[in-house]
Structure 1
Amino acid sequence: MPNQRDEAADDSPPDLPCLEKLDSPTGSPPTASLSRLMELESCLSNLNLAHEIVLNRDFCFRPRSPPTDSLEGRVTEIVHRAFWDSLQEQLSSDPPNYSHAVTLLQEVKTMLQSLLLPGHVRLRAQLDEVLDMELIRQQVHHGALDLHRLAGYIASTMASLCAPVRDPEVGALRGLGDPVELLREIFRVLGLMKTDMVNFTIQSLRPHLLQQAVQYERAKFQQILDRQPASLDDTTAWLQAAAAEEEAAAAAAAAASAARSESSSPDSQGPVSAIAVLDRAAMRLLRWDPRDQRYPETLLMDRARLDALGRRLQVLVLEASVLLLTDAQCGDAVFSLPGFVGRLRRSVAVLLEGSHAREADLKGALKGIGETALRLVTEALSGRGGAAPPQESRRLLKGQISELWKHDHPVRTLIGERAQGFLRATLQGGLAKRSPEPPAALGPVGAELAELGAAFGRIVHFNRSVFGPFYAPVLRKLLFPPGEAGTGEAETGEAETGEAETEEDSR
């Protein structure tokens, strides 16, 4: 939801399923296409909002504030300044012109009414009495409007309605003497109070939404499919690729088993497990090529989260690879020193930050990591009165670390396979079971890898709970002969039954 929306929250995933083509169908009037597009956009917005609330515990709305150095920020500042300068000019004229001020008081009243709860009967009646717009217009007509008295009542009402965090800002309103500045601050603080109310409502509704999330998201996606039947094309291609990989891996494993048992030919293989295909498909998301736009539609709302997890996994694999190479060249005499592994990991993490986007950046980062690792090793040994590593060991350490940018580097490949195996075992274990222990080679990054696996598992299992019925017919066609189709559907659909409840309990 890692993901909050802007106007909504800042780190929410930006991707929404782009399932509707803007071109009108042949022979259809443009208004019909526009109506369908608006309905689809509304459906997608509701689906994305509900998904963010469920998966992002920290999801909240924040008032939109464009950067001050941006064009939008400068235009917004100019327009706001012009508006308040105009109000200042009207109130400073002789006699004062209260036309805009009365309009602002009406808006303030409306905003205050939106903050009232059903139990605020007396406060609502008092608000209608004090901010009686007809009476205020009569006071303006007779030159008897007391703007400061009304502003004081507004500030007092805001103080009784605001959250404790807003008390200092509401209290500061009473110290403002300029009516324009006072109205401007009232609007600013009221905007914050409305945001607080929305976020409070979201938190209050979240437990109820969790109970209905799977059915709600499934129904919304079905509405999308009804309007755009081709909305599973990329999902189908994604599952096809995973099924091909799983079948190839099963065939290779069968061939290796037959070779070990000196059998003349491997035993005939039945269809691979649908759950195994789903697990392999999920693992493919962590190494997705960012240039590939054919992302599965059922996971577009989680793409930003999954991309972030994939980048984090790459960093952890590189960190573990550097640690393994350093240990191999320098031995336990260095690694057993208190704090050495922590210092080396922190240095590696800092140098790797932001280097995943371009291969040239990664090469430069790894070159610096090799020099840093050698310096830390030398400092650690000299601090214990030991001799510096031999020249050959230093050269090998720097060279091996510098070569880690290659995806086929033996150490990086080994660590990557171990990490992938750990994450897949985490998926197979499910949310209700204890996470497996990380392999020994991943021990130094085990805690972070387990945390990553837990986050990955929550996304994947919730996604299957929602979209299992949509995956089942696709996998049935891919994996099972016509006579065995029912088995595949049961495995992909019914095997996921109860995952929504498990997901809710895990929260």
Structure 2
Amino acid sequence: MDDVALSDAELELAAAELTHDDDIPEEPDMILSEDAENSEHPPSFVPPPRIAARFYSAAGSRRISSAASSRRNSISSTHSHTSTRSFRNSCQSHHVAQHLRRTSILESRKARLADRAAHAEQVRLRAALAKAAPRGSNSEERALAAKQARERHLAQVAASCAEEVRRAKKIAEENKERKAAEERRYRQEMEEKLAEAEKRRLEYKRNARRPRTASSSPPADVKKLALPRPVSPEDAAKRIQAAWRARTRMNVVDAWSDLGLSIDKVHDTSFEDITALLAEEKVLAATEKILALFGLLSDADEAARGTAVRSFLSTYLILGHPAHVLSRDGDQEQDLIQKAKDLIISFETALGKLATFNHYTPSPTGMENVSLAHGTFMTAFNDWKARDSSALIETMVASFVSLDAIWQSVKDDTVSEVAIEYKNGIRDNQAILLSKIKKLAGPDRALTLIRKAIRESRKSRPRKRPAGEVARPRVAIDSPTPGSPIAGTDAALHNDAATQLQQAGSAGEGHQAQSLSEVFTVVPPNRVLVHELSIDKEFRIDASPTANLRDALNRELCDSMLRGFENGESSMWTVAMSENIRAKLLHLLKPGNSMHSLISETLDPELISRQCSQGTFSYEKFFQFVANILPKLCAPFRDDEVKALADDLQEEGSLPEMVEKLFKLLHTINNLSLDYSNFLLMNAAPTLLKEATGYEQRMFAQDLEEGNITLKRTQRWWRSAAVNMHTEADRRDPWSQPTPLNRPTPQKIYARGLVDIAIATPPLRESELPETLELDRARIARIRDEALRITTIGGILLTAKNLLKRDVRSQWKNDANRMWETLKDGYLKDPATPSKISSLLESSHAMPPTTRAQLSSTITRLLTQAEAGKLNDPVMKVLFNRLKTHIFNRVSASSSGERVKAASTATEGLTTAGLPEFVTQVSDICEQLTKISEVDRRSHGKWYEEIAEEMERLGAEGDELMRTDSAESASGSTGSSSSE
């Protein structure tokens, strides 16, 4: 731009010079100049100062022309110079040349300025396009470059470390081999010396001693004795047999040497190939002969010999492929590897000393070393095999029992086609497990273990109450009187039950009326009742939530009655209490029943009022009447309780004892009312289940229309689950294109959201739970507590196993169950809880003081984190994430086949995750979440579909917007390239 500015200044200067008219001579001046030239004394011509400065400038300041476009090389400049050489040329030609020269300069400069302006405009356009084009920030580029550089550096460090480790291992192996070679050499030399000495001793014994003589030369008779004697047939046979045995031993050694078995060969060969090689008959036969040569085979049956041969060959597999043979890397496995190495070293050492001079006979020292090493290895091998097989057997038995539990839960709760599909899948998996268990434990022991485990599992599961006569009040079993409502059809009974439940559910309007209704009745609202029945078909009303409050109210009522008796208000309290009891008893019966008429007439309030006013009312007769009626109204399973109450009512007592009898009577009548409500619910359950889905949909839609609830929390919950699923899918395959087949399905998204909200640390906050799962709030909160308890106990047991160097796959079920019961009431509500947990573990497993102290501190730390609901310990985090992943895999299974497969591998998965003791608890959690999922998706599937469609629409619009922006950016880049 400086050049451009300079050119503009020069251009203005040249234009200013051209505007001076007096600088360019006119024609008259030129004519006068010619006249002056012809005169005698021609006047001297003096050019204007500016022209003189151009033509007579200093030599140092003159510009040297170096280009064809120079002004001094131009035509006008040349013409100007030639025109000024002779004064005879007129001044007019001089000025014309000068004018042409100036015009040429101006034109050339204008052309250069135009080119520069065009170039500057092109540069400005390119800069604007480059500035407008979308591009990543420099920070992202730098971060990416730093990440790549870090990864390269880490890869280099890892490679260098691996190389150092490999070099150190190589040096250690070389040192071991060198020491072993030296030891073999020393032993071989010693064996050779001993053999030579033994040979000389035998030679000395064969040759007779020379008798002592004075002469140094042996006598003739001695020479005759030294001559070889004829060999007897027995000696010849012995020598032949010895040679034959030596030849046989040599063939055995040569056959083993031809196999070429060594640790290096096994390590370099793949596990499948070396397994196939060791299973060949030729290898087994050669191994059996070489082991017999060293005396390592007993004279047992063929099966025992074959087992010993395979056990010896397993040493090569253990040393060559420890990762494939051993399931873990514990102390017992390391000890087994060391003993296998000692056996191979002693065996190869003794084998290397077999040669012709010792007739391929192992020395006693070598055989002793090999025998000791073999016995030590077999002991360690059998211990490891027994522990490993017992862990596998326990795992497979637990899987078998888990499949049986699934079948027990679905055989009566599903339709026939689904039940048959479940049955086939479960039987196939159980057959596979049974065959594996029989191979490891034997047929008899396998059947015993499975029967015992199934019996314990079925006993531990809550037994379903049969819809029989046990839970029914006797008034419903007795033959109905003519005209009684019980004599109607089943449909009428269902309608009546539904009507009573409706009346009990809507006992009052308003907050106070609803609160009183919840206190004085145990029947939940209709929507809660229908929802609980949908999840559990055997659901029964439980009085425990309000039992204590109702007992407290009855106790206050009886105390007030006692004070009223002391104040002389006995008649009023007697009439009120009898009317209350009469109403409760009539609630258990239907109008028109003989028992209903009897109670109504006997406990008439007006009759009792007249008796009290006349002083003829007797509490003994009142209690006797009630004691005779209650056994006829109760269910069979309450016979003992009602009989004890009836005996108590018929006993005489003081006024306080009479009031206490009234309290017990009210408590028993409340229980009978609960039994009657459950009886009505049992009869109405089929009708209610048919309409459950539609009823929940209508109630939820009504709440939405009235504005009682919104779907904001549900939308946020679904969006979070969808983002998590898509993020996991991108993490699994970051380079693939997002095809529709790879996108998570709505069922997977729902399962992810359900597991995320259920398997989390307590407490369950109001903002976390979607509106559609509001009725399952207590259930989800309970699942959260159970998941945290499983993780806490699993972390404690895993730490104890590691400190005691036990197998983490072993199941400490007794310890886990006792800790489960101990932590039911809280983690640190009782300050002695950590010491109780430590005592439980110490009573079952002996441990040194240091281990006990370390384990105690770990238990305190884990319980503190569990009480706070924050899992900061790495072990707790890993266990919790593994538990969450396991439950998600089982809950997200869509078909019955996938569920059976997930259940059959559940025990193995939990064992791998470090939670082998909690198969039953985790199965219960998965079953509860599955039922919640089925009921919730049937009831609120329409709203979930709307939310999913809205999210897909927003996602499609976002993708379309991104594609549009990319297209515009691409078109802009193309336009800028073409302009350049």
**Fold-level similarity (TM above 0.5):** yes
Q: Displacement, 1:397?
A: 7.8
Which of 645, 649, 654 is 1:169 aligned to?
Answer: 645
- CA distance in 2 between counterparts of 1:106 and 1:345 reads 53
* 1:219 aligns to 2:698 (yes or no): yes
Give matches, 1:112-261, under 5 Å. 112-117=585-590, 121-139=593-611, 144-146=616-618, 148-164=620-636, 165=638, 166-177=642-653, 180-181=658-659, 183=662, 185-228=664-707, 230-255=709-734, 258=735
Q: Which residue of 1 aligns with 2:882?
A: 418
Whether contact under 8 Å (2:762, 2:781) holds in the other structure is no
Give matches, 1:377-388, under 5 Å. 379=846
Give matches, 1:265-304, under 5 Å. 266-270=736-740, 271-285=743-757, 286-287=759-760, 290=763, 292-294=765-767, 295-304=769-778
* 1:65 aligns to 2:548 (yes or no): yes
Query: Which deviates the most, 226-235 or 395-404?
Result: 395-404
Q: Displacement, 1:48?
A: 2.5
Letter in 2 for 1:237: R
Q: Displacement, 1:84?
A: 2.6
Q: Which residue of 1 aligns with 2:584?
A: 111
Q: Displacement, 1:291?
A: 6.6
Q: Displacement, 1:469?
A: 1.6
Which of the pair has the greater relative contact order for Cα pairs under 8 Å at 6+ separation? Answer: 1
Q: Which residue of 2 aligns with 1:314?
A: 788
- CA distance in 2 between counterparts of 1:188 and 1:228 reads 41
Which of 904, 907, 922 is 1:449 aligned to?
Answer: 922
Q: Displacement, 1:190?
A: 2.8
Q: Which residue of 2 aligns with 1:85?
A: 563
SS class of match (2:794): helix
Whether contact under 8 Å (2:762, 2:785) holds in the other structure is no
Cα distance change, pair 356–309 in 1 and its aligned pair in 2 (3 A): farther
Q: Cα deviation per residue 1:187-243 (whole Å; 9 max; x = unaligned)? A: 443333323322332333334333332222222222211211652211111111111
Whether contact under 8 Å (1:40, 1:224) holds in the other structure is no
Cα distance change, pair 347–117 in 1 and its aligned pair in 2 (3 A): closer
Q: Which residue of 1 aligns with 2:951?
A: 478
Whether contact under 8 Å (1:344, 1:376) holds in the other structure is no
- Compute the TM-score of the two structures, normalised by the length of structure 2: 0.37
Letter in 2 for 1:267: Q
Letter in 2 for 1:464: R
Cα distance change, pair 168–117 in 1 and its aligned pair in 2 (3 A): farther
Cα distance change, pair 61–277 in 1 and its aligned pair in 2 (3 A): same
- CA distance in 1 between counterparts of 2:805 and 2:931 reads 38
Q: Which residue of 1 aligns with 2:905?
A: 437
Cα distance change, pair 168–464 in 1 and its aligned pair in 2 (3 A): same
Cα distance change, pair 38–288 in 1 and its aligned pair in 2 (3 A): farther
Whether contact under 8 Å (1:272, 1:479) holds in the other structure is no
Whether contact under 8 Å (2:791, 2:879) holds in the other structure is yes
Letter in 2 for 1:379: A
Cα distance change, pair 176–231 in 1 and its aligned pair in 2 (3 A): farther
SS class of match (2:812): helix
Q: Which residue of 1 aligns with 2:934?
A: 461
Whether contact under 8 Å (1:425, 1:436) holds in the other structure is no
- CA distance in 1 between counterparts of 2:627 and 2:841 reads 63
Q: Cα deviation per residue 1:44-69 (whole Å; 9 max; x = unaligned)? A: 9432343345446354225632499x
Query: Which deviates the most, 246-255 or 142-151?
Result: 142-151
- CA distance in 1 between counterparts of 2:615 and 2:844 reads 82
Cα distance change, pair 238–205 in 1 and its aligned pair in 2 (3 A): same
Query: Which deviates the most, 136-145 or 165-174?
Result: 136-145
Cα distance change, pair 425–201 in 1 and its aligned pair in 2 (3 A): same
- CA distance in 2 between counterparts of 1:55 and 1:242 reads 24
Which of 42, 45, 48 is 2:528 aligned to?
Answer: 48
Whether contact under 8 Å (1:102, 1:136) holds in the other structure is yes
- CA distance in 2 between counterparts of 1:277 and 1:408 reads 28
Cα distance change, pair 408–426 in 1 and its aligned pair in 2 (3 A): same
- CA distance in 2 between counterparts of 1:201 and 1:124 reads 18
Cα distance change, pair 482–453 in 1 and its aligned pair in 2 (3 A): closer
- Compute the TM-score of the two structures, normalised by the length of structure 1: 0.66
SS class of match (2:668): helix
- CA distance in 2 between counterparts of 1:55 and 1:88 reads 52
Q: Cα deviation per residue 1:334-359 (whole Å; 9 max; x = unaligned)? A: 976xxx8345535765776666699x
Q: Cα deviation per residue 1:75-114 (whole Å; 9 max; x = unaligned)? A: 97556423233135537xxxxx634423433333333222
Letter in 2 for 1:278: Y
Whether contact under 8 Å (2:795, 2:876) holds in the other structure is yes
* Higher Cα Rg, which structure: 2
Whether contact under 8 Å (2:533, 2:685) holds in the other structure is yes
SS class of match (2:880): helix
Letter in 1 for 2:846: E
Cα distance change, pair 290–124 in 1 and its aligned pair in 2 (3 A): closer
Letter in 2 for 1:114: H
Whether contact under 8 Å (2:713, 2:771) holds in the other structure is yes
Cα distance change, pair 403–197 in 1 and its aligned pair in 2 (3 A): closer
SS class of match (2:597): helix
Letter in 1 for 2:747: I
Give matches, 1:372-411, under 5 Å. 379=846, 407=871, 411=875
- CA distance in 1 between counterparts of 2:598 and 2:550 reads 40
Q: Displacement, 1:152?
A: 2.9
CA RMSD in angstroms, aligned pairs only: 4.5
- CA distance in 2 between counterparts of 1:474 and 1:310 reads 26
- CA distance in 2 between counterparts of 1:355 and 1:89 reads 47
Q: What's the % identity of the aligned pairs?
A: 19
Q: Displacement, 1:477?
A: 1.0
Q: Could you list the runs of 5+ residues in structure 1 that have no partner in the other structure?
A: 1-34, 92-96, 259-265, 381-387, 485-507
- CA distance in 1 between counterparts of 2:858 and 2:667 reads 57
Cα distance change, pair 407–103 in 1 and its aligned pair in 2 (3 A): closer
Whether contact under 8 Å (1:232, 1:296) holds in the other structure is yes
Which of 811, 816, 822 is 1:345 aligned to?
Answer: 816
Q: Could you list the runs of 5+ residues in structure 2 that have no partner in the other structure?
A: 1-508, 518-523, 958-980
- CA distance in 1 between counterparts of 2:951 and 2:825 reads 39
- CA distance in 2 between counterparts of 1:368 and 1:90 reads 56
- CA distance in 2 between counterparts of 1:411 and 1:177 reads 64
- CA distance in 2 between counterparts of 1:234 and 1:445 reads 33
